[in-house]
């Protein structure tokens, strides 16, 4: 009887020791351009209970195979660091090692650094008054705004604003928009056009990663009467 009991206890101990090796932590990664030639990397490592793991070893490898080890931030519950932003299309490998898993976990995150800014080429009202020719536009008329393309699959953020607030903003995949009449009150404004390239899912519902790069056009000042 004692021999059988010992065998059962030994089996349970062996199972409890082996079980953690079969646990695969949940990995989520975010890569965002800083606008200064680098990428801010944020990696979340969660155990099966949903709690953040602070003792993991998290690194990122770029296309040159250069490796950066990320530091854990106890306030943000994530591993963070800055990587160099390479021109054009690239990818970064997030490698995670923990005592919970036998093997290293790798997540590949695609990334594209945009090189062509969406410069404004049309900014006029329906009467033909063009901001680019130094003219004021009429707030009572629809306004056409167009810009050069920055690449395929790019989303453009168009904002007309003062120094303190935005009066009109829209997101589009097109290279032009028409602002409805009476949408911009009389005054002086700045037109800001930004191109963004996104991979993955910001809410991590369909993907374990999210990457965002952007490039801004030159600001255009305008007067509306």
Cβ–Cβ under 8 Å, residues 130 and 59: no
Give pLDDT, residue 92: 94
Q: 105-143 burial by CB neighbour count: b if 16+ within 10 A, else e?
A: bebebebbbbeebbebeebbbeeebbbeeebebbbebeb
Q: Is the pLDDT of residue 194 over 50?
A: yes
Q: State mean pLDDT over 55-74.
A: 93
Angle at the Cα of 72 from the Cα atoms of 66 and 76, rounded to 5 degrees: 125
* Distance of alpha carbon 41 from alpha carbon 90, whole angstroms: 15
More confident residue, 18 or 24: 24
* Secondary structure of residue 198 in the 3-state scheme: strand
List the domains of the chain with CATH numbers: 2-112 (2.60.40.10), 120-224 (2.60.40.10)
Q: With cut-offs at 50, 70 and 90, classify the pLDDT of residue 21.
A: low
């Amino acid at each position: 009887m004692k021999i059988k009991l010992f065998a059962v206890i030994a089996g349970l101990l062996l199972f409890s020791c082996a079980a953690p090796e079969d646990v695969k932590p949940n990995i989520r990664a975010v890569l965002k351009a800083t606008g200064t030639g680098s990428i801010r990397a944020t990696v979340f490592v969660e155990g099966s209970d949903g709690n953040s793991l602070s003792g993991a070893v998290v690194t990122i490898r770029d296309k040159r195979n250069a490796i950066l080890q990320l530091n854990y931030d106890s306030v943000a519950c994530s591993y963070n660091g800055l990587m160099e932003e390479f021109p054009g299309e690239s990818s970064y490998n997030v490698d995670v090692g923990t005592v919970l898993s036998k093997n290293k976990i790798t997540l590949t995150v695609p990334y594209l650094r945009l090189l062509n800014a969406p410069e404004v080429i049309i900014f006029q009202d329906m009467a033909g008054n063009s901001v680019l020719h130094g003219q004021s536009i009429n707030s009572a008329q629809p306004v056409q705004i167009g810009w050069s393309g920055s690449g395929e699959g790019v989303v453009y953020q168009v904002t007309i604003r003062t120094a303190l607030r935005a009066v009109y903003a829209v997101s589009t995949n097109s290279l032009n928009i028409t602002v409805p009449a009476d949408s911009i009150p009389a005054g002086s404004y700045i037109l800001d056009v930004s191109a963004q390239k996104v991979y993955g899912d910001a809410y991590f519902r369909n993907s374990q990663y999210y990457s965002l790069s952007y490039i801004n056009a030159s600001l255009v000042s305008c007067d509306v009467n």
